[in-house]
Amino acid sequence: MFSFKCSVSDGRSLPFLQYLVSLAVVKSIKLMDPQYAPVDIKIKWPNDIYGGDGLKIGGVLCQSSYFNSQFDVIIGVGLNVNNAEPTTCVEALVQSVCPGARVTREAVLASFLEQFEIMFSAFVADGFLPFVREYLLHWMHSGQQVTLATPNGTRREVSVQGLSDNGFLLATDRAGETYELHPDGNSFDIAALTIRPKQR
């Protein structure tokens, strides 16, 4: 749908930038109109946007390069605004709470840019910490029971707890052992509720 560039100087914040953008997408839809607040739209870790019926409607990609002591990040946001077939779209989700409502790409983009500008300023100043509670409120996974497939072929049942201080997905098994899963090294199969290493 659109792409843009931003710059950050603290490399430790990079893993959180895709979370910030995903949250801004969700907020931009819900805040376009006060009546849209109940729209059921969620974040799937690490960077996908889903309707409450479990259908993907978008995603976020971030690609960074380092130059002159800062990270330049190209951010791409893909979002299905109006095409309700074969799955669903933003407009269909909005119409489920506001029958007859019309949603345009221009309105979504304007709302996103308004939200992201405010959020990014706070992110640069204070990091992602001020957004963690709101992010977890809008994601699909708190307390979710999933299977963790390890590189050596073993499988463990774990419970998703949240995000670690490093921006990784935090999970624990029944024995209390903690796992931190890097978003670039793992994929989350939401249909099978399985997290597995990405194929290289």
For residue range 63-122, list pLDDT tens digits in order: 999 999 999 999 999 999 999 988 899 999 999 999 999 999 999 999 999 999 999 999
Token reading at 193: 């509720």
Beta carbons of 171 and 45 less than 8 angstroms apart: no
Question: Between the CA of residue 186 and those of 24, 44, 85, 149, 192, what are the distances in Å?
Answer: 23, 13, 29, 10, 14
Percentage of residues of the chain with pLDDT beyond 70: 98
Round the average pLDDT of the chain to a whole number and report it.
Answer: 92
Spatial CB neighbours of 57, under 8 Å, sequence gap ≥ 6: 41, 49, 50, 51, 79, 80, 87, 88, 89, 90, 93
Kindly state the DSSP code that residue 32 receives in the 8-state scheme. Answer: S
Buried b (16+ CB within 10 A) or exposed e, 149-165: beeeeeebebebbebbe
